[in-house]
Amino acid sequence: MQILKLKPWRSSEGDAAGTAGTAIAQCAEMTVGAEMTVGAEMTVQAEMTVQAEMTVQAEITMAQAGLYRLRYRVLGSTSGLRVPERMNPERRHELWRHTCFEVFVMEPDGSYYEFNFSPSTQWAVYRFDGYRRAMTEPSFPSAPRINLAVTPDSLVLDATIDVQRLLDPEARSRARISLAAVIEDRDGRLSYWALAHPPGKPDFHHPDGFIAALPDNGD
């Protein structure tokens, strides 16, 4: 199991876009990139505009060959968050304009898939031949299963995806992933969270963000 820290994007002036806070996660039995250490708790501070403190975590596990379970946690007061209302679990564009959770899966040749999971239970999946290049919408007959639980001090979204028809076992064993989230506050301001942020504006597609391995054999 990988439990990973999502860091808030910060501008060159040092403030976080929209709602910001503290990103904290436990890294268990693995090292991700140069800055994360096995078994260490990592924190990233950002200027706070609405929330006194916000923690964003993500984890991904392989339930069986090609079937992955993701869990995203937003810890802290949820009273200041704008959470999309539950809708029919259908494919929908531009979910990232509101609170949304994402995973990007890159194959060895540099092509990659983008999955979007909304608290509304709507979802999207896209394929790119390379960095933001030649986007298509692949057939995805098994819709992701999305569940949401919100309390006064946490938001937890679970998503299950079956990628067997998208990635063969060899590609899965060598794939890299990027986990990300967009969090919207009640004033409509967005903050951007990811394992790693490249210089400049928030960009979840950038190759520098793919710093974790896709779990294999239940690891």
Render pLDDT for 34-93 as a digit per residue (tens, 0 to 9). 222 222 222 222 222 334 488 899 999 998 888 999 999 999 999 999 999 999 999 999
Domain of 56 in residue numbering reads as 2-213
Is 219 within the bounds of a domain? no
Question: Which residues, in sequence order, are bridge partners of residue 125?
Answer: 115
Question: Which residues, in sequence order, are bridge partners of residue 150?
Answer: 155
Average pLDDT of the chain to the nearest whole number: 81
Give the confidence band of 15 by pLDDT, cuts at 50, 70, 90.
Answer: very low
Is 153 within the bounds of a domain? yes
Is 134 within the bounds of a domain? yes
Question: Which residues, in sequence order, are bridge partners of residue 69?
Answer: 61, 160
Residue 185 reports pLDDT greater than 60: yes
Looking at the structure of the chain, the number of domains it has is: 1
Is 80 within the bounds of a domain? yes
The answer to whether the CB of 175 falls within 8 A of the CB of 166 is no
What's the rounded Cα separation, in Å, for the pair 120 and 70? 16
Q: Kindly state the average pLDDT of the residues 14-34.
A: 33
pLDDT: which is higher, 130 or 32? 130
Residue 153 reports pLDDT greater than 70: yes
Give the confidence band of 140 by pLDDT, cuts at 50, 70, 90.
Answer: confident
Residue 22 reports pLDDT greater than 70: no
Pairing of strands 123-128, 112-117: antiparallel
Of 124, 217, 123, the C-alpha closest to 172 is: 217
> For the domain that residue 83 is a member of, what is the CATH number?
2.60.40
